[in-house]
Structure 1
Amino acid sequence: MASSWFVYILQCADRTLYTGITTDLERRTREHNQGKAGAKYTKARRPVELIYSESAEGRSEASSREAQIKKLSREDKLLLIKRQS
């Protein structure tokens, strides 16, 4: 049985956006806020807040979608987030 993967966007304390992938949104957000498990970018920008997520079929699909989102402008990312609300 394949595990569920998610693409997520965090808003950092300085209002910048960070995009990543995970199998557990709550755990990964907690790790970002605790400064654990990589993501040097968020370590200096805590606290972070999960503001967007979407599910993916597997890691490959999640990674591809993450790359697509990272190429978007900030404005386009905010539109994506707003559409989900």
Structure 2
Amino acid sequence: EEPLYVNAKQYHRILKRRAVRARLEEQNRLAKQRKPYLHESRHRHAMRRPRGPGGRFLTAAEIAELESKKHESEDVHQENGHDHATAA
């Protein structure tokens, strides 16, 4: 697995929480498993959002850049006679 990067200011607390969780696991006193997400509507919205190669959400500028590249490539295909509608 590739390393997981975390906020430097949160790292100490993350380590403390891992230690507490390990101690509870030894005593078999772990709480029940959490649901993967709390709000269905927020989950659906996040699933629709475009993501970059690392899985992060794209910014508005990055989305606009992708759209412009997509439109440019479509224009080039139409100019060269590679229109999908005429192929059928």
State the TM-score bracket (shorter-chain normalisation).
Answer: under 0.3
* Structure with greater strand percent: 1
* Structure with higher RCO (Cα < 8 A, 6+ apart): 1
Q: State the TM-score, normalizing by the size of structure 1.
A: 0.22
Q: State the TM-score, normalizing by the size of structure 2.
A: 0.22
Q: Computing the radius of gyration over CA atoms, which structure comes out larger, 1 or 2?
A: 2
